[in-house]
Structure 1
Amino acid sequence: MLINFETGKSVQEVRQALEEKAKAKGFGVMSVHEVSNILKNKGVPIDYECVIVEVCSPRHASQVLSKNAFISTAMPCRIAIFQKGDGKTVVSTISPIVMLEMYNEPELKPVAEEVEKLMREIMEESL
């Protein structure tokens, strides 16, 4: 399941706000991928702007990785920011709760719920 929001702000405005909000909520910004620029430089451009911001909460990461190292395959959390054809900017991520279901660790559901709540807040406050 995807968590999606739309805004009239530009991709770069949302990116800047998202990085600030993530840090304010205890998440680190691990990396930013300027996907549209990367593809353009590789000779295979797309016709819209797309950025992926990877964020991680050290406290939550420690909790889940202490239980199951395979969860590292779903980390860090990725938030995509891209333009739609109608000029709107979309902010989207995969639900941490749904993602956790793949690892068969039901006792970690409260951690995933907390991460998802914080991710939604970060995204909504960035719009």
Structure 2
Amino acid sequence: MNKITVMVGAGALVVGAAVALVIGFFSMPGMMMLEDESPYDFATTIERFEQEVAAGGWSVLTVHDMQAVLDGHGHQVDAIKIYELCSSQYSAEILVLDDERIISPLMPCRVSIYEKSNGRTYISRMNSELMARPFGGVINEVMQVAAVETEVVISRVLDS
């Protein structure tokens, strides 16, 4: 190989890597969060969600009614409730280990149900499967299973 071929190849590699980084940077937010439109109104989606969470063996630790909270501060937003969900089995598997406790700010799992200005209801949550991968080990293993269970609950809510 001559020097020019090596330089062109190296330049193409650098440009290709830069393009991949730019594309990744701008597409990551869309990959990190998941959103599905519910076929039901807000109240029905809430009711179905709470039933499916209980049926799936998870617990609702708390519900943040952000519409009510913000109304109390003089702000008007469409209906939105943020659920904090917990599976004691999965939480314990992570929190019993010292080094894995670093992930505790992402716990418990959060699922949000809200209306948009178009009058439709949506369910959103963090893409736990994607977010867990870089941690590896126990965190990845546990969060992968928990993510699948959460998606099953949501798919049952959305089934019409």
TM over 0.5: yes
Amino acid at match of 2:83: V
Percentage identity across aligned positions?
23
Counterpart in the other structure of 1:56: 86
Counterpart in the other structure of 1:13: 44
Q: Select the residue among 123, 128, 132 that pairs with 1:100.
A: 132
Which whole-Å CA distance do the structure 2 matches of 1:78 and 1:12 have between them?
18
Counterpart in the other structure of 1:85: 117
Which whole-Å CA distance do the structure 2 matches of 1:19 and 1:55 have between them?
10
**Structure 2 residue 149 is matched with structure 1 residue 115:** no
Which whole-Å CA distance do the structure 2 matches of 1:93 and 1:28 have between them?
16
Kept after mapping to 1: 8 A contact 2:90/2:142 = yes
**Structure 2 residue 101 is matched with structure 1 residue 69:** yes
Number of paired residues?
A: 125
Kept after mapping to 2: 8 A contact 1:5/1:124 = no
Which whole-Å CA distance do the structure 2 matches of 1:3 and 1:115 have between them?
15
Greater share of strand residues, 1 or 2? 1
Q: Which runs of 5+ in 1 are unaligned?
A: none
Greater share of helix residues, 1 or 2? 2
Which whole-Å CA distance do the structure 2 matches of 1:105 and 1:37 have between them?
39
Q: Which runs of 5+ in 2 are unaligned?
A: 1-31
User: SS of 1:126's equivalent?
Assistant: helix
Which whole-Å CA distance do the structure 1 matches of 2:91 and 2:41 have between them?
30
Which whole-Å CA distance do the structure 1 matches of 2:102 and 2:141 have between them?
18
**Structure 2 residue 58 is matched with structure 1 residue 27:** yes
Which whole-Å CA distance do the structure 2 matches of 1:26 and 1:111 have between them?
16
Which whole-Å CA distance do the structure 2 matches of 1:60 and 1:87 have between them?
35
Q: Bigger relative contact order, structure 1 or 2, given CA contacts below 8 A and separation 6+? A: 1
Which whole-Å CA distance do the structure 2 matches of 1:83 and 1:18 have between them?
15
Which whole-Å CA distance do the structure 1 matches of 2:143 and 2:74 have between them?
39
Kept after mapping to 1: 8 A contact 2:82/2:112 = yes
For the aligned residue pairs, the C-alpha RMSD in angstroms reads 1.6
* TM-score normalised per structure 2: 0.71
Which whole-Å CA distance do the structure 1 matches of 2:138 and 2:66 have between them?
35
Q: Larger radius of gyration, structure 1 or 2?
A: 2
> Per-residue deviation at 1:65?
1.2
Which whole-Å CA distance do the structure 1 matches of 2:71 and 2:133 have between them?
36
Kept after mapping to 2: 8 A contact 1:74/1:99 = no
